[in-house]
Structure 1
């Protein structure tokens, strides 16, 4: 994992949190500030006596004279070091962690380093939302017509559960957030959120590059597909690679509503390069509402066996075994909420209709596919992979796919896609092809390696 390249002490990590810049995945100004700290440590002086040092630097014959420019640099450095602000920041982080890490009745150590807390259903973050306070999780709704599954398959899709440990009935498993998780983020306020950006209908968006299949022009009440899971290489800490279903409504302006679910690799969010099951929602184009997983109030989880944000295991291998997960999102026509099913018949929970504006009624677009962040940290296109990291033309066993893609219509029935379109802004970097057959129904192959001779 790409790190800050800073000292690993808690104090210094806090320091980097305040001053890092996203430049080649490193913490800039590191040497300058560390040198200043070293000098202060040698003299065992406190930051607040910097003005005395400045006085001697300017007027004492013991020290050589410094220029006005150098003096201004030192003055700015003095203003930059603000221990009280750093202390307040850490206090804010710990307060935020107390809000999202709810008291648990049991904790499970996962092999990947995660801690999974078993939290009472009624204590989960969703019920901190003003509209949801005092409410209780609803009973499962009727599935869409035409939905088939072969009973309850094994739910050991996640690494934490392979040990046989599980959360008791009446609780839900929640991945515990840490100080390090928030320190990797841009701020406490933005932790667990996508960066607000202008949202357009095309497949490139402010460094976010997509290869997607989509349908639009009708009223949609859900979507279903199976996606094979990979562990794509993500080359910069502030980039990610994901594959997901988007349920979309709104004008693609500030009123955009989305519900999203799939798998992602995000070193910034999770601190590693494992593919993880995730969800997201927003009702204002990623500005103030919504978040990943259960990192804010909103999504209500009802299942005690699936941890949102936890590592998926196993994964697909190139020219080898393929592992895919099934996802279905659909609107309960009686209550109006949007439910999520993971795997074969496992209900995870739901997004209350009250979270949304346009999605209180229906979706106007459904998208399936991949997305990466291209930060161009090295001055050229990123080498972060989408999907398997191979182009769709390589086909089964080598490329990423969505299969058995369907939508839910006004009559709560799963139906094949009509008029599927595909879009890739940079097909030399990440591409997509679509098709249909008797076994997979509607499907797409998508993905790519990013930087290559045709994608400089």
Structure 2
């Protein structure tokens, strides 16, 4: 498309393209070529005769022009159906008709992308660049994407709710660090830091229409589907009003743009059919969504099994952010290293007993925001399952299992400092109290590729190690 715009500028065309402007464009193109040939005629009499004959017969037929530039120009104009060229055969007319689709589709895609970006990216009072290249916009809190929702229009974020009983500060002091804030940049009071979505982000997406959403799939925990593989711990069979865990952060290798690796909590209600409700939070490496391999803090929600509702982060109206120091979708730093320092983040999701909204806390008592209760069907009441663990997409590159890593990229049996972990897993009960897990089950649907081992002790409470390298001698 850049080439097309340059060519149009050269011949003086104006957008939008129409049939009338097409003829004008072709005539301007002819005038431009005639002037060029006349100049050459003065310099070289021999070439002038050939060019004079050529110019006299010239009627926008590109097949007789010898220089490469006019060939390319007229070819692209024909392909765009902007020049009334007389074709010599039905085959050539059919070819031109097929070629017409490409620039029109590209223009339509670009128009769709820019309209979506105008909706996602809100006016900023201040913008600065993160060390990882992100642009962080400081947006007035009541202008954030959530308030595009019809049921939230004209409202402002709610005040903090009552926190669960038994909530103790986590033991790690630096668990809410993000790269963008390390340089000392802060958003002004009354604004929120929002990672800007750029044109290249949407151009990378496998589907512009579904940008910011997970692929629709049947979600089960006793098997994998559509290439999604899991190593998880879960509880079910009761009524749950929230969950908490500390999640070890790594930067796993993801082998191609359309795969991801994540570690998260799921708060789930409904069946595993089209009525599935989930609230999700954790960290993920997703080159398609973010354009790099940094682990990033993310949120997600859906009320219809990932079909039409919900999205990552703030890419649609839904999640209401209340915190001015956390940027959802921004890179987490530091990360854990093999045989080195270990770093985890503490996450808590719970249902406000008074208003029924689902709140998210990140780190040392820092409220990030909430999912309004009206977004959901089953989760308007309570959750029926809570899940913790890792997930990867296996696209089977080159016909073999992916080498995308889960967690640290090492199996659970390697233990602390080598394998990734979840620790201090708890749930919130009907009385808004944090309680230990009583019936944690663990499951790895491809244990030769990614596995999991659970345990319990006085320091970590309920915990498990999980992860793996993906493709290996036991996982071909």
Tell me the TM-score range normalised by the shorter chain. Answer: 0.7 to 0.9
Q: Secondary structure at the match of 1:85?
A: helix
Give distance in 1, aligned partners of 2:323 and 2:127.
16
Q: Say which of 267, 275, 286 aligns to 2:306.
A: 286
Q: Name the structure 2 match of 1:160.
A: 180
Per the alignment, residue 446 of structure 1 pairs with: 466
What's 1:232 paired with?
252
- Tell me the CA shift for residue 202 of structure 1: 2.2
User: Does 2:73 align with 1:44?
Assistant: yes
TM-superposed deviation, 1:46: 4.8
Q: 1:77 to 1:283 in 2, by over 3 A?
A: same
Give 5+ residue unaligned stretches, structure 2: 5-66
The aligned residue for residue 359 of structure 2 is: 339
Please say if 1:148 is aligned against 2:177.
no
Residue 92 (structure 2) pairs with residue 78 (structure 1) = no
Secondary structure of residue in 2 paired with 1:347: strand
- Structure 2 contact 231–390 (Cα < 8 Å) conserved: yes
**Any conservation in 2 of the 1:385–1:447 contact (CA below 8 Å)?**
yes
SS at match of 1:146: coil
Q: What is the CA deviation profile of residues 166-196 of structure 1, one whole-angstrom value per residue up to 9, with x for unaligned ones? A: 1112111000000000001123321101111
Cα distance change of structure 1 residues 452 and 169 upon mapping to structure 2, 3 Å threshold? same
Q: Shift of the alpha carbon at 1:136?
A: 1.6
Of 372, 376, 384, 1:356 maps to 376
1:125 to 141, 145, 169: 145
Residue 385 (structure 2) pairs with residue 373 (structure 1): no
Distance 2:3 2:122 in 1: 26
CA distance in 1, matches of 2:266, 2:170: 26
Matched residue, 2:330: 310
Per-residue displacement from partner, 1:330-356 (whole Å, max 9, x unpaired)?
000110000000001000000000100
Secondary structure of the residue that 2:235 maps to in structure 1? Answer: strand
**Counterpart check, 1:206 vs 2:238:** no
- Aligned CA RMSD, in angstroms, stands at 2.2
1:406 is aligned to 2:426: yes
Q: Check the 8 A contact 1:96/1:188 in 2, yes or no.
A: no
Aligned partners of 1:176, 1:155: CA distance in 2, in Å? 23
What TM-score do the two structures reach when normalised by structure 1? 0.86
Residue number in structure 1 paired with 2:30: none
Over 3 Å counting, the alpha-carbon distance change for 1:158 and 1:10 in structure 2 is: farther
CA distance in 2, matches of 1:93, 1:39: 33
Structure showing greater radius of gyration is 2
Q: Residue 55 of structure 1 corresponds to which residue in structure 2?
A: 87
What is the alpha-carbon distance in structure 1 between the residues aligned to residue 227 and residue 172 of structure 2? 40
TM-score (norm 2): 0.82
* Deviation for aligned residue 1:85: 3.1
Instruction: Decide which structure has greater helix share.
Output: 2
- 1:133 deviates by 1.1
- Per-residue CA deviations over 1:17-52 (Å, capped at 9, x if unaligned) read xxxxxxxxxxxxxxxxxxxxx988744215453588
Query: Do the aligned partners of 2:246 and 2:425 also contact (CA within 8 Å) in 1?
Result: yes
In structure 1, the gaps of 5 or more residues are 1-8, 13-37, 60-67
> How far apart, CA to CA, are the structure 2 residues paired with 1:228 and 1:428?
22
Cα 1:156/1:252, change in 2 over 3 Å = closer
